[in-house]
Amino acid sequence: MSRLSALLLLLPAIACSDEPAAPAVSVPLTPEFTAGAGVTGERLAQATFDIRKVKRINKEYDWHVELKAKPALDIAVRRFTYAPGSQTGWHTHPGPVFIQVVSGTVTFYEAPDCTPITVEAGESYLDFGEHPHIGRNESADTQAQDVTVLFGPPGINPDDLREDVSPAPCELPALD
């Protein structure tokens, strides 16, 4: 008797079993899945800059800035729109990320302590890229938007400027 024939003969017995059916979808008992929901991103630009070192002193404004990169760096600009109640999912970046909230409010949580950092329109948030974090629009009825400047290694694939983190490093408060 072939394997297929044996399987076909056993199907009625399996179907009549008293054992409860297995669920169609496996659901973990602990939160393992940290994918974002309700946040859409738009890639505006990305380029490699072979700058090595930039130093600028502006005496008129009493302002100094210095930027070093070895051998070079990629800078990517993105816009993210957060629907009410949405979140990015837990993730990290290979380098620093400068975030400017342009409308609404985005609340960021960084591991390990997960203290909320609330950033309103016109304010900014600097993610050093060293710890997992998540961004949430905790409003029930107002959309939020930010413009993000990401720094990464030269020639990095745009998809590699974000690495998802699982499991979630801490539990966040429930949204109302």
Helix, strand and coil in the chain, % to nearest 5: 10, 45, 45
pTM above the 0.85 mark? Answer: no
The conformation of residue 158, written as its DSSP 8-state character, comes to: G
Residue-number span of the structural domain to which 113 is assigned: 33-161
Spatial contact of 146 and 102, defined as CB atoms under 8 Å apart: yes
Is 57 a member of any domain?
yes
- The tally of domains found in the chain comes to 1
The conformation of residue 124, written as its DSSP 8-state character, comes to: E
In CATH, what number is assigned to the domain containing residue 110? 2.60.120.10
Is 113 a member of any domain?
yes
Is 112 a member of any domain?
yes
Is 154 a member of any domain?
yes
pLDDT, tens digit, for every residue of 15-61?
444 444 433 333 333 334 466 899 999 999 999 999 888 999 999 99
Res. 104: pLDDT tops 80: yes
Is 141 a member of any domain?
yes
How far is the C-alpha of 47 from the C-alpha of 123, rounded, in Å?
25
Is 167 a member of any domain?
no
